[in-house]
Structure 1
């Protein structure tokens, strides 16, 4: 358990650092803020591609023991959207189309609502 926790933490630090560097790179390439979250979208898409590739590659090579470091750690630190995408596709592949649709709608909707609620509470407390 402790070994897995250390691997997840190390991977998370690495993934978060990659996300930060991606943001810096996009900022430099575009000359500043673009008004559209390009770096976040890129992290989400790249992380989802990497998650999909890793799931198949690790299973094919018998390397699923690397999942805590790569999937939960690196890709979780880079983007949590990759795990969300994997769960959605898994539901679709199992033929659970309605559940996949509900998962997408509720995950996005409740997450946005949760963020708004957090902002509302924090602004009420601190401002």
Structure 2
């Protein structure tokens, strides 16, 4: 059976737009000032990673989700919400005399915190829902 990709592309686009608007709102609440730690992007990316951990447990272990949920929320919303390009641009901007240490801290700190956020999201969701991963179900 061949499915049309139209609905998948539509929900990814819609989710991406909503995620980008949410990121913009958070950036307005936590604006980045030159030479300072970019808290807005840091919080956005770490929160997005936490949410992807929550989402993946919910739609793969807890619920029988509709086929468009993952593209809408995972690829669309969280893809539009998180931002690698701004993270890279802000890191580059901090690579100036006097802020190189801050740039390195932001670069490494974001990666570590993002990975820990995914793990925390998975752990918390499994704990709250009582979901236990069955290694035999993993393909």
Shorter-chain TM-score tier: 0.5 to 0.7
Gaps of 5+ in 1: 90-127
**1:33-64 Cα deviation digits (max 9, x unpaired):** 27111110001100000000000011210116
Match of 1:114 in 2: none
Q: Does 1:62 align with 2:64?
A: yes
Structure (1/2) with the larger helix percentage: 1
- Rounded Cα–Cα distance in structure 1 between residues aligned with 2:83 and 2:70: 14
Task: Give the aligned partner of residue 49 of structure 1.
Answer: 50
In structure 2, runs of 5+ residues without a counterpart are: 85-113, 120-139
TM-score by length of 2: 0.53
Provide the TM-score with structure 1 as the length reference.
Answer: 0.57
Cα RMSD, aligned residues only: 2.3
Which of structure 1's runs of 4+ aligned residues deviate more than 6 A? Answer: none
Task: Give SS of 2:20's match.
Answer: helix
Shift of 1:75: 0.1
Query: 1:20 — aligned with what?
Result: 24
